[in-house]
Amino acid sequence: MTFGKVIRPQWPLDEDIIFLNHGSFGASPHAVLAVQREWQDRMEAEPVRFMTRELPQHLDKSKAELALFVGARVEDLVFVQNATEGANAVLRSLLSTFKPGEELLTVSHAYRAVRQTMVYVAGLCGATVVDAEVPFPIADPEEVIDAIRLAITPRTAFAVIDHITSPTGVVFPVEKIIALFKERGIPVLIDGAHAPGQIDLHLDTLGADYYVGNCHKWLFAPKGAAFLWVDKKHQAKIHPTVISHYLGGGYQTEFGWTGTRDSTAWLSIPAGIEFHKKLFAAGSREYTRKLLVDARREISVALGVPLGTPENMLANLCTFPLPGNPDATDERVLKLHDVLFDEHRIEVPAMNANGKLYVRISSQVYNDPSDFDALKGALVELAGAGRI
Ligand SMILES: Cc1ncc(COP(=O)(O)O)c(C=O)c1O
């Protein structure tokens, strides 16, 4: 199988756009979307039969395939629409267990929506949110561990730690981080929004208390396909964000029905897994990695900036510094994105990490070096004109 321009027509991606942001919302190929449409047709052919007689068993099958893929027991997995919802389900279920003065710990590279959920929960119970200050650029996985160790106090009651960070695209050493919390008896939720499909997962042996992951990012599933994994010992206290008929029925039963909805994204996860596996067998991981590593080296050399991340902390995302190390305001972040999109037709996010402005690239099988050359040219031009 050849990657790059040859394979790109397998996605409905706009031909006029250089798409370097698989990370934000994923991109589903035609093959997976066709499967979702088949499910939707089946649902609408007889909605009552579908919802009441067919859906539960099809969801079970889909979940069983996902469980196999992420190395989990099927009983520990439930479907949610997205990682934000999964994190909300956990944090809001635990609300009454946090006491005034306790600390909910996260990292300075955390995803804002998840951190805001922590702020909301902390505000309701008199707790506070503490950020471990993880540096960026970063040189070594130990820097993450040190930052987290420093931020833990006797008041730390809970932690939310990213598996692959959103603003910086860094793969965190989560096994070692989980061990830090375990030693101290602090439960930890791993935010793996970017992990499924980007890196291999073995949730059964990872040792987390809670894990959320998206299938609509790097596993090619349609939007609205995500999961929550909860260690058996915590399941009885975790409820969905939407309470429905089966309150009190237990973890699987409660999450199994949260009101009428289109569940076809969940039903299409096996199609996403199959698509991913075919690409993987054809060498997608090697292809996207080389693409990413080469691109960030060339862009960094052209811009005269240091590399932000060591290679052993990269998967398919990479964030790199900009000339002059500019401060990031919300306005600057938006403006840089908009200039690249409006003037250069490049879809790539500008990022605020620890208050500085960066650009984050995603490397996917439909990309090739010419996409990154275009970005390099645009950034060199903008930097030369003093517009970054
Ligand atoms: C680390 C992280 N957590 C959570 C999310 C939220 O994902 P979703 O919008 O699917 O809930 C994202 C999205 O990019 C993310 O990067």
Number of H helices, E strands in the chain: 15, 12
By the 10 Å C-beta count (0-12 exposed, 13-18 middle, 19+ buried), 36 is classed as buried
Query: 30-45 and 269-281 helices cross at what angle (nearest 10)?
Result: 160
Q: Distance between CA 109 and CA 26 in Å, rounded? A: 20
CATH number at residue 367: 3.90.1150.10
Same domain, 248 and 138: yes
Q: Distance between CA 67 and CA 161 in Å, rounded? A: 22
Ligand 1 pocket, residue 119 CB under 6 Å: no
Determine the atom of ligand 1 nearest the C-alpha atom of 166.
16
Determine the atom of ligand 1 nearest the C-alpha atom of 164.
1
Same domain, 98 and 144: yes
- Probe ligand 1: pick from 25, 88, 91, 114, max atoms within 8 Å of CB? 114
Q: Distance between CA 89 and CA 96 in Å, rounded? A: 13
What does the pLDDT look like over 316-339, one tens digit per residue? 999 999 999 999 999 999 999 999
Q: Residue range 46-69: average pLDDT?
A: 98
| Domain boundaries, position 184 | 32-269
Same domain, 73 and 207: yes
- Answer yes or no: is pLDDT of 1 > 90: no
Order of strands across the sheet that contains 350-353: 317-321, 356-362, 350-353
Full-model pTM: 0.98
Q: Distance between CA 33 and CA 16 in Å, rounded? A: 21
- Answer yes or no: is pLDDT of 138 > 90: yes
Same domain, 304 and 170: no
Element (H, E) at 19: strand 18-19
Confidence of residue 253 (pLDDT cuts 50, 70, 90): very high
Residue 73, classed as helix, strand or coil, is coil
Token pair listed for 99: 């006491």
At residue 90, the pLDDT reads: 99
Same domain, 112 and 219: yes
Confidence of residue 285 (pLDDT cuts 50, 70, 90): very high
Same domain, 183 and 323: no
Q: Residue range 173-201: average pLDDT?
A: 98
Q: Which of 219, 242, 269 is the last residue of a domain?
A: 269
Same domain, 340 and 207: no
How many angstroms is it from 81 CA to the middle of ligand 1? 11
Same domain, 42 and 149: yes
At residue 327, the pLDDT reads: 97
Q: Distance between CA 166 and CA 22 in Å, rounded? A: 12
At residue 248, the pLDDT reads: 98
Q: Is residue 156 part of a domain?
A: yes
Same domain, 314 and 174: no
Q: Residue range 231-242: average pLDDT?
A: 98
Q: Is residue 15 part of a domain?
A: no
Q: Identify whether the C-beta of residue 226 lies closer than 8 Å to the C-beta of residue 4.
A: no
Token pair listed for 263: 């569940």
Q: Residue range 248-274: average pLDDT?
A: 98
Ligand 1 pocket, residue 214 CB under 6 Å: yes
At residue 173, the pLDDT reads: 98
Q: Is residue 193 part of a domain?
A: yes
- Counting the structural domains of the chain, the total is 2
Buried b (16+ CB within 10 A) or exposed e, 327-353: ebeeeebeebbebbeeebebbbbbbbb
Ligand 1 pocket, residue 111 CB under 6 Å: yes
Nearest CA to ligand 1 atom 14: 24
Q: Identify whether the C-beta of residue 360 lies closer than 8 Å to the C-beta of residue 348.
A: yes
The proportion of the chain whose per-residue pLDDT surpasses 90, expressed as a percent, equals 100
- Answer yes or no: is pLDDT of 295 > 90: yes
Nearest CA to ligand 1 atom 16: 166
Determine the atom of ligand 1 nearest the C-alpha atom of 163.
1
Confidence of residue 224 (pLDDT cuts 50, 70, 90): very high
CATH number at residue 138: 3.40.640.10
Ligand 1 pocket, residue 194 CB under 6 Å: yes
Q: Which of 238, 269, 300 is the last residue of a domain?
A: 269
Same domain, 227 and 307: no
At residue 300, the pLDDT reads: 97
Average pLDDT along the chain: 98
Helix, strand, coil in percent for the chain, rounding step 5? 50, 15, 35
What does the pLDDT look like over 140-182, one tens digit per residue? 999 999 999 999 999 999 999 999 999 999 999 999 999 999 9
Confidence of residue 350 (pLDDT cuts 50, 70, 90): very high
Q: Distance between CA 361 and CA 320 in Å, rounded? A: 8
- Return the sign of the alpha-carbon dihedral for residues 172, 94, 183, 201: negative
Same domain, 109 and 178: yes
Q: Is residue 7 part of a domain?
A: no
Q: Residue range 227-242: average pLDDT?
A: 98
Confidence of residue 139 (pLDDT cuts 50, 70, 90): very high
Q: Distance between CA 295 and CA 368 in Å, rounded? A: 10
Nearest CA to ligand 1 atom 7: 83
Q: Where are the alpha helices (DSSP H) in the chain?
A: 22-25, 30-45, 47-49, 55-70, 83-93, 112-125, 141-151, 174-183, 203-206, 251-256, 264-267, 269-281, 284-303, 330-344, 369-384
Q: Is residue 3 part of a domain?
A: no
How many angstroms is it from 184 CA to the middle of ligand 1? 27
Q: Distance between CA 380 and CA 91 in Å, rounded? A: 43
Ligand 1 pocket, residue 106 CB under 6 Å: no
Q: Residue 356 has what DSSP assignment? A: E
Determine the atom of ligand 1 nearest the C-alpha atom of 192.
1
Same domain, 195 and 291: no
